Structure 1
Amino acid sequence: MSLKDLPAELRPREKLLARGPASLADAELLALLLRTGTAGQGVLAMAQALLQRFGGLPGLMQATLAELKTVKGLGGDAKRAELAAVLEIARRSMAQRLAERPVFESPAAVKDYVRLQLGGLPHEVFALMFLDARHHLIGLEEMFRGTLSQATVYPREVVKRALALNAAAVVLVHNHPSGLAEPSRADELLTQNLSSALRLVDVRVLDHLVVARDHVVSFAERGLL
C-alpha cells in the first residue's frame, strides 16, 4: 500500500501541508520518504517497523547502506540512496550550525547533535567535539570504541589529536548503550584525568556529555567539572 491509497485526512503529505511538519509523527515523516510499502505491509507500517528495528530516529541516523539493504523493501538502490542522502543532510546541517556559532549559544542543539550521532549505537563509543578559540565546532570525532560496558580511553591520543587540529577547547562525549545516561564514578575520574592532561597543552574541557537514546546528561550542568 502506498500513501495515495490512504484516506486524504490520513496522508502524511496533506497533514504536513495543512498543519506543518511538526504535526507528523516520526513514522509519518519517514513514510513520506519511503512513499510505498511492500506486499502485505503498508508504507506507514513499514516506516514504524524500520524505526523499531533501528531504535528510532537516532538509531536510523547511524544506519549504514549495508544495514539498510537488509531491510525488506529497501533492497532497491534508488530508495536506499535517497534515504541515506536525507539522513546525511540532517547530520551535516546540524554540524554546520555548530561550526558557524559558539556551541554553547544553543546547548539544546549540541545535545540533539550528539544524541543523533551516538544515541542509537549498540556499543560504547568515546568521542570528542573539537572546538576553535571561538568555541565553534571543528569536528566531532570518534576516538575509541569499546564493548557494551566500557571503552578504553588513552589521554595521550586525545592530546595528540587536539594539538593536530589546533583545538582550543573540547567537549567529551560518550554513550551508554544501556539507555541510562547517568554518569558513573568511572566517568567522573576519566573526565578529571583528561582535563588534567589537556590543561598541560592549554586545551580546556568545557563539558562531558553522556548520551543515551532519549536523553543527554551534561557534566557542566550537574556541576561535575
Structure 2
Amino acid sequence: MAFDSDDCEKITTAFRIKEMPRTDRPRERIILAGAGSLTNYELLAVLLKTGTSGMGVLEFAEMILRRFGGLSGLDRVTFDQLRQVKGIGEAKAAELIAAIEFGKRIHEATANRESRQIRSAEDVYELVCAKMRSLDHEELWVINVDSKNRVLAIDQLYKGSVNASTIRIAEVFQGAVSRKAMGIILVHNHPSGDPTPSDLDFVVTRNVKEAGRILEIALLDHVVIGAGDYRSIFDLTAD
C-alpha cells in the first residue's frame, strides 16, 4: 500500500507516547541523540507534556502547529489565542509563551548585537528579526553605529503608526548625538507581514536622510521587516 509523507506523519502522531518503543519517545531521543533529532511537533509535544481526551500529545502538538501556520505562526501567537485551543489551560499557555519568548531572547543574546558590525540590510534583519517580526503592532527602531558600522546601541523609538507626521527628527537623532555615533539605520516592521515599503516610508527616509546631512550623522539605510523577509529602502532607491 502506498502513502505519501503526510500520511507517514499522521500515522506517527496517531500513536500515544506510552505505546511507542522507549527509544522512539521524544524525551528519550533528546537524551540519546540530542534535541536536533526531533521534528517540530515532537519538540512541541515535549513542552506540552500531555495531550487531550481522545488525542495523544504528538497528535495534539501537530494540530497546534497546523492551526497556527507552523513555526512562523507560533512565533506570533498570543496567550489568549493559545487559551482558545481546547486542552490548553492557563498554566500550559503561560509555559508555551515563556518558552517562545526564551527562544527569542537566546537568539537576541547570541546575535551579540552590542558589538556586531553591519555590512548589509541582511545583517540588520538578522539583528532584529527575532523580536520585530512577531510584533502585532508597528515599531520604529534606530540602530546607532560607529565609523566602522559597529552597533553602539539600538533605540526602540516609536510604537504604533510610523509615519512622517508622528516622527520627530530630533528624537530620531537624539541617541546618536549623545553617543557620538557616525551613522544610524532606521528599521521598522509591518505587522501585516508584507515588507513592501509604503509611500510614507519613503517620505520618512528622505526627511531623516536630509536631517542627517545637516547633523553630519549619515542615514545608512531604512529596512522594513516583514514575516520572514525584509526590504531595504536604500536598495530600492539606488541609482
- TM-score normalised by structure 2 residue count: 0.69
Query: Which of residues 99, 108, 113 in structure 2 aligns to 1:91?
Result: 108
**Match runs of 1:177-216 below 5 Å:** 177-216=191-230
Q: Per the alignment, do residues 101 and 30 of structure 1 end up closer, same or farther by CA in structure 2, a change over 3 Å counting?
A: same
RMSD between aligned alpha carbons? 4.0
Query: Which of residues 73, 89, 102 in structure 1 aligns to 2:117?
Result: 102
Q: Per the alignment, do residues 86 and 4 of structure 1 end up closer, same or farther by CA in structure 2, a change over 3 Å counting?
A: farther
Question: What are the ranges of 5 or more consecutive residues in structure 2 without an aligned counterpart?
Answer: 1-12
Q: Per the alignment, do residues 75 and 47 of structure 1 end up closer, same or farther by CA in structure 2, a change over 3 Å counting?
A: farther
| 1:191 alignment partner AA | T
Deviation above 6 Å: which 4+ runs of structure 1? 66-69
Query: Which of residues 130, 153, 175 in structure 1 aligns to 2:189?
Result: 175
Query: Which of residues 131, 135, 146 in structure 1 aligns to 2:160?
Result: 146
User: Which region of structure 1 is more displaced relative to structure 2, 42-51 or 157-166?
Assistant: 42-51
**Match runs of 1:57-68 below 5 Å:** 58-59=75-76
Query: Which of residues 37, 40, 52 in structure 1 aligns to 2:68?
Result: 52
| 2:29 alignment partner AA | E
Aligned-pair identity (%): 25
| 1:165 alignment partner AA | R
> What is the aligned length?
215
Q: Deviations over 1:10-54 (max 9, x none)?
A: 738738975983x7554444444x161354465443476378299
Q: Matches of 1:213 and 1:46 in 2, distance apart?
A: 23
Q: Which one has a bigger Cα radius of gyration?
A: 2
Match of 2:50 in 1: 37
Question: How far 1:117 moved relative to its partner?
Answer: 1.7
Q: Deviations over 1:45-92 (max 9, x none)?
A: 3476378299535426xx6xx779968356279946962444322222
Question: What are the ranges of 5 or more consecutive residues in structure 1 without an aligned counterpart?
Answer: none
Q: Per the alignment, do residues 11 and 107 of structure 1 end up closer, same or farther by CA in structure 2, a change over 3 Å counting?
A: farther
Match of 2:180 in 1: 166
Match of 1:75 in 2: 91
Q: Deviations over 1:153-178 (max 9, x none)?
A: 21111122221233221111111112
Is contact 1:127–1:141 with CA below 8 Å preserved after alignment? yes
Q: Secondary structure at the match of 2:180?
A: coil
Match of 2:6 in 1: none
| 1:170 alignment partner AA | I
Question: How far 1:207 moved relative to its partner?
Answer: 1.2
Q: Matches of 1:76 and 1:26 in 2, distance apart?
A: 18
Question: How far 1:132 moved relative to its partner?
Answer: 2.2
Is contact 1:69–1:75 with CA below 8 Å preserved after alignment? no
Match of 1:11 in 2: 26
Q: Matches of 2:126 and 2:74 in 1, distance apart?
A: 11
Is contact 1:209–1:219 with CA below 8 Å preserved after alignment? yes
Is contact 2:195–2:229 with CA below 8 Å preserved after alignment? yes
Match of 1:118 in 2: 132
**Match runs of 1:125-140 below 5 Å:** 125-140=139-154
| 1:36 alignment partner AA | K
Question: How far 1:181 moved relative to its partner?
Answer: 1.0
Is contact 2:144–2:175 with CA below 8 Å preserved after alignment? no
Question: How far 1:125 moved relative to its partner?
Answer: 1.1
Q: Matches of 1:158 and 1:87 in 2, distance apart?
A: 26
Q: Matches of 1:6 and 1:165 in 2, distance apart?
A: 61
